[in-house]
Amino acid sequence: MTLKVLIVEDLHYDAELMALRLRDEGFELDYSRVQAEADYLAALADPPDLILCDWHLPQFSGLRALSLLRQLDLDLPFIIVSGGIGEEAAIDALRQGANDYVLKDRPARLGEAVKRVLEDKQLRQAHRIAEEKLRLAERAFQNTAEGITVTDVNGDIVSTNPAFEAITGYTQEEVLGQNPRVLKSGHHEPSFYRDMWDTLLKAGHWRGEIWNRRKNGDVYPEWLTISAVKDKRGETTHYVGVFTDITQIKEAQDQINFLAHHDALTQLPNRALFRERFDHALMHARRENNSIALLFLDLDRFKTVNDTLGHPTGDQVLLEVSRRMSNIIRSSDTIARLGGDEFVLLLEEQTSAQHAAVVARKLMNLFSSPMNVGEHELVVTASIGITLYPNDGDDPDLLIRHADRAMYEAKQQGRNTYRFFTQALTEGALERLMMENELRRAISRDELILHYQPIVDIKTRQLRGVEALVRWQHPKQGLIAPGLFIELAEEIGIIGDIGKWVLHTACDQLAKWDQDEFQVPRISVNLSVQQIDQTLVMQVSDELQKSALAPERLELEVTESMLMRNPELSRTVLGELKAIGVNFAIDDFGTGYSSLAYLKLLPLDRIKIDQSFVRDIGRDSNDEAIVRAIIALSKNLGLESVAEGVENSNQVDFLQKAGSVLAQGYLYSHPVPAEELYRNWSAIKA
């Protein structure tokens, strides 16, 4: 390794002699010579390994050179090489920071002096590094967030850090000389500590989770690592324990485990935990020859609550339902939320069909009392399906499916009731599955058709429009009314395709009637809630363009509940369609949930009075009052009213006196195919 030397000397040959002497001593040398202060400072910008300096120079001095080193805070080996320095000056030079001095007339000492000062420099550097490591270790010891305990080989505490006190509550003074068992919680058996020390003595370290006790008595979990500290001979002198309070981690883990097995909203067991308990209950029932009852509960028309009042209100309803049910079940029973508004109740002890029916009636009575949710007072009913083990099966999945089928049957029977599973329900489920598959293929097989029902002027009986109503011409079952398949189409997600087909076919038919000079002023098409999105505007525009129809001749019918499901989206989409020129009617008015303040903001043209009110005209004064109110509301909003389900002249007389303009119903015509409508009405001018 080349030794970089700075020689401060005014005589060139003296510097050469110094360099020659060092090379003779075996040093590989790279030296430079300076004799003025400015050159000296410039050379120190790239510090050398060693400085050899004359004490007396014409323009500089060794004393000044040492002073400049101190000012620059440079730790460089500095040897005085002088011919005329006296003993007092030499001692002063050493006091000022020189490492040695060599007289020029004794050059033999130069190599020895250089070796010594270089070794001294290495020792100083090693010492500084060691000191820095010690300072760093001390800072880490004092400032780390982990608690640290140092014990001697006997296990007595000799040192702790501030984090130890922060975690345990004990100061260092309180535990010095004591064994760490002062923290013992009593949660572990003696074998736990024996195993810990066996591992520590054999492997030199141990790590794991341990429960300890704070000074205030609180028990807490910590993650502890203990390591043995050995001396040069390999003998253990100390043990260092580093620990972290993992209380928050344990709480987070407990919360994660809870959420993995419980419903986040209601805190009830979820599907996974319910399945575990159901499997365990079945194993116990098989072993003890016991029976089990499973109740599958679904809230009635809960979707309407979400659509009209919003999901936050729906969540509050679910919470109240969960609270009420939890208050009446036995400790041995399990209630779980499977998702949405579906709940299951598992009855294990002393269970029979009679007991299951009693529980089902209790649940129904429980829901009969109104619940106050925010500003609303609601009555939420439920449909319940019941299945029994072992009568209805011994497989958990099968029993759940059977309970679901029984619940569906309760829905079909009018809701707010319960039904036990029977084999006939399974057969019905198979029929429904087959119907789903056939309905999915109905469009591609050209099995859908449209029937048309006239909308007439009450006074003149002239044709003012027709409503397009979809039918399913099933190859085996014949003509199927929409009430038997539209809801199914919405459930399985194909109502959008059916709606698109209906819109296209209706517009195409109106264009054909125009070609045949059959004057139908307007055609009405029903929309499903799933159709109201931004794609509807483009879809309607395309169909109007293809059929070359004026936009005002197309009327789209929507319901109150449909609009209130997403009011802002409905208002936006209907507004864009109205800008095109399309007409709108609100169907089945009076049967849904709506805000009149919101309805007046929608671009409506007509209100259709639901036939349930029209049917009892002349028999129910309340329905008559409702009809009058709807007609008056229509007039005040500047809308036409259309009475649905008109079947006799008495109803017509009442409607005409009340101020209704338009009507449709069996009095005028059943929904009929396009050809029949043409034959019956083509001679009547629109």
DSSP string, 622-676: HHHHHHHHHHHHHHHTT-EEEE-S--SHHHHHHHHHHT--EE-STTT---B-HHH
Where does CATH 3.30.70.270 sit in the chain? 262-421
Where does CATH 3.30.450.20 sit in the chain? 144-250
Q: Please report the pLDDT score of residue 266 as a whole number.
A: 92
Residue 410: name the closest of 422, 400, 420 by CA.
420
Q: Please report the pLDDT score of residue 351 as a whole number.
A: 78
Flag whether the pTM goes above 0.75: no
Please, are residues 436 and 417 in contact by the beta-carbon 8 Å criterion?
Answer: no
Q: What is the DSSP string of 396-417?
A: HHHHHHHHHHHHHHHHHTTSSS
Kindly report the CA angle at 202 between 164 and 181, in degrees rounded to 5?
Answer: 30
On whether the 438-681 domain is CATH 3.20.20.370, my answer is no
- Which two structure tokens, joined as six digits, stand for 26? 């075996």
Q: How far apart are CA 410 and CA 298, in angstroms?
A: 10
Q: Please report the pLDDT score of residue 433 as a whole number.
A: 60
With tokens 């270790």, the residue in question is: 137
Q: What do you get for the CA distance between the two ends of the chain, in Å?
A: 113
Report whether the peptide linkage leading into residue 390 is cis, meaning its omega lies within 30 degrees of zero: yes
Residue 296: name the closest of 262, 229, 344 by CA.
344
Q: How far apart are CA 25 and CA 27, in angstroms?
A: 6
Q: How far apart are CA 677 and CA 682, in angstroms?
A: 8
Please, are residues 305 and 380 in contact by the beta-carbon 8 Å criterion?
Answer: yes
Q: Please report the pLDDT score of residue 597 as a whole number.
A: 62
In tens, the pLDDT along 131-177 reads: 788 777 777 778 788 899 999 998 899 999 999 999 999 999 999 99
Residues of the chain with pLDDT under 50: 430
CB 157: neighbour CB atoms within 10 A? 22
* Residue 126 CA: distances (Å) to CA of 10, 132, 300: 35, 10, 83
Q: How far apart are CA 648 and CA 467, in angstroms?
A: 20
Element (H, E) at 377: strand 376-378
Q: How far apart are CA 669 and CA 465, in angstroms?
A: 13
For the chain, what is the mean pLDDT?
A: 87
Biggest CA-to-CA distance, the chain: 145
Q: How far apart are CA 52 and CA 628, in angstroms?
A: 119
At the topology level, CATH places domain 2-139 in Rossmann fold (3.40.50)
Where does CATH 3.20.20.450 sit in the chain? 438-681
| 2 burial via Cβ count (<10 Å: 0-12, 13-18, 19+) | exposed
Q: How many helices (H) and strands (E) does the chain have?
A: 25, 26
* Residue 564 CA: distances (Å) to CA of 141, 146, 350, 496, 587: 65, 57, 47, 19, 13
Q: Please report the pLDDT score of residue 252 as a whole number.
A: 85
Q: Please report the pLDDT score of residue 470 as a whole number.
A: 93
- Please state which of the four CATH numbers 1.10.10.60, 3.30.70.270, 3.10.450.50, 3.40.640.10 is assigned to the domain occupying 262-421: 3.30.70.270
| 10 burial via Cβ count (<10 Å: 0-12, 13-18, 19+) | middle
The CATH classification number of 144-250 equals: 3.30.450.20
